[in-house]
Amino acid sequence: MTGKMRAIVKHHQGYGAQLQMVPVPTIQADEVLIKVKATSICGTDVHIYMRKDFE
């Protein structure tokens, strides 16, 4: 599968994140790629969005 997909990306420390179009990852023979139809936000997502330090 080639093309683009939507992803929430946090590029720097500090408040916030961005919805961006990114390349669909290339997978290896022992990996699978799953197309997600729906998603939601959990408490951990909010914590990462709000925090100043991240890994």
User: Which listed residue (2, 26, 39, 44) is catalytic?
Assistant: 44
12 given a catalytic annotation: no
Our answer to whether residue 44 is catalytic in this structure is: yes
Taking the C-alpha atoms of residue 38 and residue 30, their distance in angstroms, rounded to an integer, is 25
CA of residue 15 relative to chain centroid, distance: 16
Rounded to the nearest 5 degrees, what angle is found at the Cα of 49, between the Cα atoms of 40 and 14? 165
Active site amino acids: 44, 47
